[in-house]
């Protein structure tokens, strides 16, 4: 299949961002007297909206979630945002897609302003025609009940901006979690998975991503997207 547009998730797909995200979640939990010394226990926060995971994992009320999201952002905006690196080969992959004339945008669960700062820090902003995430409003985040529904909205906004909403079947949504795959399927875009991020190969398959569209490296991803 020949794609004309590519949407990328950010955390776990383009950037290895676990240290900054999990440490910021850990900080937010500490403000509510919840101690979680094992950062690996917080990897599930990468992908879904923070509110969804604070509610699922710790049973927080809306008021506690609102405070936790604000506390997370205090540390993340100051420190965590910069505790990230590109996966090996990311810049070469993006350059190859750019050279092929493909439109590209970021469709992330991270608020747009934060995502723009991360892309600037990683020096890959120039490859993207747009950056799309959920609103910064914490009240909206608290109301979010599903990671897939949140991703679906972000994807639709990105498609409309790129002018690809009339032909989403020739646009790929690349991500490492089930929310990316489910959001792609709900919007008619083609799901493409990467299993080097924070979701497993099995998670991607169970969400509906075909085996042949799951990449284990940036080189494999480039081949899939340029096929």
CA 183/CA 217 separation, integer angstroms: 22
Three-state helix/strand/coil letters over 177-197:
CHHHHHHHHHHCCEEEEECCC
Catalytic residue among 9, 11, 71, 176: 9
Q: Does 140 participate in catalysis according to the annotation?
A: no
Nearest to 36 by CA among 58, 64, 55, 56: 58
Q: How many CB atoms lie within 10 A of CB 4?
A: 14
> Sign (positive/negative) of CA torsion 99, 156, 108, 147?
negative
Between the alpha carbon of residue 115 and those of residues 35, 125, 198, 199, the distances in Å are 28, 10, 18, 20
Nearest to 81 by CA among 170, 10, 157: 10
CA 39/CA 21 separation, integer angstroms: 10
Contact between residue 118 and residue 10 where contact means Cβ atoms under 8 Å apart: yes
By annotation, the residues acting in catalysis are 9
């Amino acid at each position: 299949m020949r794609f004309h547009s590519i949407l990328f998730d950010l955390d776990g797909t383009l950037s290895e961002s676990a240290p900054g995200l999990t440490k910021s979640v850990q900080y937010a939990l500490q403000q509510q007297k919840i101690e979680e010394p094992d950062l690996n226990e917080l990897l599930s926060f990468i992908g879904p909206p923070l509110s969804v995971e604070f509610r699922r994992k710790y049973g927080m009320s809306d008021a506690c979630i609102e405070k936790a999201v604000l506390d997370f952002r205090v540390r993340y905006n100051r420190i965590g945002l910069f505790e990230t690196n590109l996966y090996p080969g990311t810049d070469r992959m993006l350059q190859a897609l750019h050279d092929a004339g493909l439109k590209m945008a970021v469709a992330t669960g991270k608020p747009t302003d934060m995502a723009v700062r991360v892309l600037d820090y990683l020096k890959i902003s120039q490859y993207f025609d747009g950056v799309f995430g959920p609103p910064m409003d914490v009240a909206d985040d608290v109301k979010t009940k599903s990671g897939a529904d949140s991703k679906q909205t972000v994807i639709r906004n990105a498609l409309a901006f790129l002018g690809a909403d009339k032909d989403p079947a020739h646009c790929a949504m690349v991500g490492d979690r089930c929310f990316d795959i489910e959001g792609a399927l709900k919007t008619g875009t083609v799901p493409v998975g990467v299993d080097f991020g924070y979701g497993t190969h099995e998670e991607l398959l169970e969400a509906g991503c075909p085996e042949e569209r799951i990449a284990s490296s940036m080189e494999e991803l480039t081949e899939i997207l340029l096929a």
